Amino acid sequence: MTVLEQMGEWTSAAGESPLGDAARELLALHLLDTVGAWVAGGKTEDGAALSRASSSPSSSLPLLSEGPLDRIVAGVGTTRLTEIDDIHMPSCTTPGAVVAPTALLVAARLERRDAGTFASALRAGYEVMTHLGVAVRGPEILARGIWPTYLAAPVAAAAVTGRLLGLDPGRIADALAMALTRISGGPGRPPSPSPRWLLLGLAARAGCEAALAAASGYAGDRKLLDDDWLARTHGLACDRAALAAPDEGRFGIGAVSIKHYCAAKQTIAAIDAFRELLGQGITPDRIAALRVAVPGAVVKMIGHRRAVAGRVERITSAPYHLALAAYRPEDLDDVARPNLANEPAIAAFMDRVEVAADPDLDRHYPERWPARVEAVLDSGERVSKLVLDARGDPGRPADASEIRKKFRRLAEPVIGETAAHDLEQKCLAATRDDKALASLCTMVNAWPPRTTSRPVES
């Protein structure tokens, strides 16, 4: 049996273990968390651009249509651009942004919406994306300019779609094989407006197309991962052992982190550590210098102060986020990420932040993404805080109430309190109740949701 045939076996109904109540509840919470990001993404300029691309009736050849596959493009891109969706650290992939919109928009086109199958499709997508991300060493290839989520998106979307369509193990293997031929290395570093989010959506669409092709009888090369194909075509090593069988301990939904801030995950332990220092009664104006120690692999990405350059730079800058935590903590989960870097207090504080590598923290990476923050006070006193597990990480998991509160903070400003409450209830029930899933699919078919405010410029 080839590697892809083994994956087809454990992705399909034939090879899966039964989903218990706890697993369904956790999948529902991640679904809710991701849908909150999807709704909030429409507030941003990038989200508005995706919406315009899929609703241009005046064009004789629109970039995106209102068809289900093009709606997957917009849904995936709009969710991921928020940078507040979930993330699996060992693979450096963000599975929810690809898996949840794909599953909902495919399920919305099916005649029968079965909550058990839907939950299994979510699980299949999460596991395929995280397994593949680990197999290709996602955290390592990120430093080479390869975006692991972009790389794995077609394969994860194929798994989700194939499972919802009820494909047998062989057909799912064919879908995964065809999806593999659609993977890309990286989106490059284009200037604004960046096509990054559009490209990710198109990658997810390619995976759906692969599953539909397999359902129509097309076959893929099931031996692609049995030799050096990934090395020859993409320059990637592949640990095939990471793909041979599911491992819910390392790859399952319980190993995926919930993010509480609109920030690159590599910055979040530092934000938590700094906020804990502030909670001890230290005021920002007393801090003469702030030293942030992180694993060496992430220093270059998060140590910069280029926050004025654009939204992505603000999302990845640790100095900027710590300045927000000091003076504008209410803005830490604002997905619009407006430019506050020129405010005098923010700018001055950023200049006092230094990010450096700490070899002692490297041993935790990439299973954990820790940070140690040391504040040097105006009196010369030094206080520090080490965070190995940020809030929402597997070692410090978010509870249901935290995830629900986060959802409301994201969704209510966009669609209003009543609609957000209704959406919340449907998401939480969709993995166990057929009627709730059907109702949620009806709501999703009417998206994008009507916003109560204009997009915020970044």
- pLDDT for 17 equals 67
**How many helices and strands in the chain, by DSSP H and E?**
21, 4
Judge if 34 and 68 occupy the same domain.
yes
- Residue 225: CATH number of its domain: 1.10.4100.10
Reported as a single tens digit per residue, the pLDDT across 329-352 is: 999 999 999 999 999 999 999 999
Is residue 453 situated within a structural domain?
A: no
SS3 302: helix
- Domain coverage including residue 369: 265-387
- pLDDT for 57 equals 60
- pLDDT for 71 equals 93
- pLDDT for 455 equals 45
- pLDDT for 454 equals 45
Question: What's the chain's average pLDDT?
Answer: 92
pLDDT tops 80 at residue 248: no
Judge if 128 and 220 occupy the same domain.
yes
pLDDT tops 50 at residue 79: yes
Mean pLDDT for the stretch of residues 268-292: 97
Judge if 346 and 333 occupy the same domain.
yes
Which of 58-62, 78-82, 235-239 has the weakest average pLDDT?
58-62
- pLDDT for 55 equals 63
**What is the pTM (predicted TM-score) of this model?**
0.94
The residue type of 355 is V
pLDDT tops 90 at residue 457: no
Token pair of 401, please?
């109430």
Whether residue 159 contacts residue 125, with contact meaning beta carbons closer than 8 Å, is answered with yes
Q: Which of 387, 419, 435 is the last residue of a domain?
A: 387
pLDDT tops 80 at residue 447: no
- pLDDT for 76 equals 97
Better-predicted residue by pLDDT, 50 or 167: 167
Judge if 160 and 198 occupy the same domain.
yes
- Percent of the chain beyond pLDDT 90? 82
User: How many CB atoms are closer than 10 A to CB 104?
Assistant: 29
Judge if 158 and 18 occupy the same domain.
yes
Question: Which of 236, 259, 214 minimizes the C-alpha distance to 97?
Answer: 259
Reported as a single tens digit per residue, the pLDDT across 159-192 is: 999 999 999 999 999 999 999 999 997 888 777 7
Judge if 139 and 18 occupy the same domain.
yes
- pLDDT for 439 equals 96
Whether residue 48 contacts residue 42, with contact meaning beta carbons closer than 8 Å, is answered with yes
Judge if 131 and 240 occupy the same domain.
yes
Q: Which of 365, 387, 409 is the last residue of a domain?
A: 387
Element containing residue 357 per DSSP (H, E): strand 353-357
Judge if 231 and 347 occupy the same domain.
no
Sign of the Cα torsion 244, 249, 252, 256 reads negative
DSSP string, 400-442: HHHHHHHHHHHHHHHH-HHHHHHHHHHHHHTTT-HHHHHHHHH
- pLDDT for 48 equals 84
Mean pLDDT for the stretch of residues 76-95: 97
Reported as a single tens digit per residue, the pLDDT across 184-201 is: 978 887 777 789 999 999
Q: Which of 387, 414, 434 is the last residue of a domain?
A: 387
The residue type of 187 is P
pLDDT tops 80 at residue 11: yes
Query: 160: which residues sit within 8 A by CB, 6+ positions away?
Result: 99, 102, 103, 106, 121, 122, 124, 125, 207, 211
The residue type of 335 is V
- Percent of the chain beyond pLDDT 70? 95
pLDDT tops 80 at residue 54: no
Instruction: Specify the residue for token string 């140590």.
Output: 303
Domain count, the chain: 2
Which of 164-173, 219-228, 240-249, 400-409 has the weakest average pLDDT?
240-249
Whether residue 285 contacts residue 59, with contact meaning beta carbons closer than 8 Å, is answered with no
Mean pLDDT for the stretch of residues 71-93: 96
Cross-strand bridge partners of residue 385: 373
- pLDDT for 183 equals 95
Mean pLDDT for the stretch of residues 439-443: 94
Judge if 43 and 135 occupy the same domain.
yes
Judge if 226 and 361 occupy the same domain.
no
- Residue 270: CATH number of its domain: 3.30.1330.120
Judge if 215 and 320 occupy the same domain.
no
Mean pLDDT for the stretch of residues 204-228: 97
Query: 146: which residues sit within 8 A by CB, 6+ positions away?
Result: 185, 186, 236
- pLDDT for 188 equals 81
Is residue 33 situated within a structural domain?
A: yes
- Separation of alpha carbons 106 and 303, rounded Å: 40
